[in-house]
């Protein structure tokens, strides 16, 4: 197992944020801190609540590491953000909100994802994003981190409600692209779509060439063992083996769907969606004081 790795991508000047990427080795997830270098205002993006599937046990090790970086750099957090309800890790948003007393947000189409998974778990009424998140962002909405403006772009395909946060020359593109030497993300989960993801990728790759793209996951790449998660639009257009310039839409869709048909479910998925669609909260404790998860049998 690779140890947790932290890398700082410094601001490039006026209007450009400082970005810290924090690699979570068990799920291959990248967590982010995006900060205004002038005011030290910051947002946390896709922070992980650690989960051991073998023992159904949670811990806050990653959360504590992220908050440690916030403290070391004198930052003050204004937002807790998620890009989508993750299938491969539990989100730490509810616990961060309890610690920091700042709003938690995700995309508005999480309401549709919640309805989809209520059926898959046979848990009618279990998920209420309007209750569990403070803000449900629509495509095109904006908000501020200190003096920096952040815009929201709907970028579905991996899920039907995934969103990208764009701040200056930094964009947090979650499970759309993988690192520039790997390719793109899967889109075979309920509500996912290869053709929709292709359109989202084309939007992202149409942004300025110098835009820094920060992806959601890394599992290694050709000839490298160290995780990596940052590359520019220009680098993806020149080198990404799935979507570099000249790639045909139908060719990519066929390649993506063929690959996805071989992939197993993430080992945390059936636990993660029940927690993440509650904003990172465990199900309400039962009479014995413990929370319980429901696992669909033969649904996948």
Q: Is 215 part of any domain?
A: yes
Query: Which residues, at least 6 apart from 204, have a Cβ–Cβ distance to it below 8 Å?
Result: 155, 164, 171, 173, 176, 177, 213, 233
| Residue numbers in the chain where pLDDT is lower than 70 | 1-3
| Structural domains counted in the chain | 1
- Taking Cα atoms as reference points, which of 206, 198, 204 lies closest to residue 173? 204
The structure's pTM equals: 0.96
Q: What is the CATH number of the domain that holds 248?
A: 3.60.15.10
Residue 95 forms part of a structural domain: yes
Q: Note the pLDDT of residue 37.
A: 98
Q: What is residue 300's predicted lDDT score, i.e. its pLDDT?
A: 87
Beta strands in 109-265 (DSSP E): 135-137, 142-145, 148-154, 163-167, 170-174, 212-215, 230-232
292 within domain boundaries: no
How confident is the model at residue 249, as a pLDDT?
Answer: 97
User: What's residue 225's pLDDT?
Assistant: 87
Question: What is the token pair recorded at 257?
Answer: 């769907």
138-141, Cβ contacts within 8 angstroms, sequence gap of 24 or more: 138/107, 138/108, 139/163
Is 295 domain-assigned?
no
**Residue range 85-95, pLDDT digits in tens:** 999 999 999 99
175 within a domain of the structure (yes/no): yes
| 62, 112, 172, 291 from 160: Cα distances, Å | 27, 8, 17, 28
Give residue 2's pLDDT: 45
């Amino acid at each position: 197992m690779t140890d947790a790795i932290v890398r700082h991508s410094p601001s490039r000047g006026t209007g450009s944020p400082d970005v810290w990427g924090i690699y979570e080795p068990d799920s291959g997830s990248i967590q982010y801190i995006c900060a205004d270098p002038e005011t030290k205002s910051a947002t946390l993006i896709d922070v992980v609540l650690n989960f051991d599937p073998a023992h159904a046990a949670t811990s806050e090790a990653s959360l504590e590491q992220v908050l440690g970086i916030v403290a070391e750099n004198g930052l003050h957090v204004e937002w807790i953000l998620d890009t989508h309800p993750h299938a491969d890790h539990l989100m730490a948003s509810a616990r961060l909100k309890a610690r920091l007393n700042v709003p938690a947000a995700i995309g508005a189409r999480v309401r549709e994802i919640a309805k989809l998974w209520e059926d898959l778990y046979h848990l009618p009424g279990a998920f209420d994003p309007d209750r569990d998140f403070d803000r449900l962002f629509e495509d095109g909405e904006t908000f501020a981190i200190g003096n920096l403006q952040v815009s929201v772009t709907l970028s579905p395909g991996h899920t039907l409600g995934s969103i990208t946060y764009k701040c200056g020359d930094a964009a947090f593109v979650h499970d759309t692209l993988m690192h520039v030497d790997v390719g793109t993300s899967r889109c075979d989960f309920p509500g996912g779509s290869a053709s929709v993801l292709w359109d989202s990728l084309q939007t992202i790759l149409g942004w300025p060439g110098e835009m820094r793209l920060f992806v959601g996951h890394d599992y290694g790449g050709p000839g490298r063992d160290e995780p990596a998660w940052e590359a520019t639009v220009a680098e993806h257009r020149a080198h990404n083996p799935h979507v570099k310039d000249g790639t045909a839409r139908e060719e990519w869709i066929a390649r993506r769907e063929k690959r996805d048909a071989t992939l197993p479910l993430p080992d945390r998925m059936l636990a993660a969606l029940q927690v993440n669609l509650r904003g990172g909260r465990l199900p309400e404790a039962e009479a014995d004081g413990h929370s319980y998860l429901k696992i669909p049998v033969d649904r996948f």
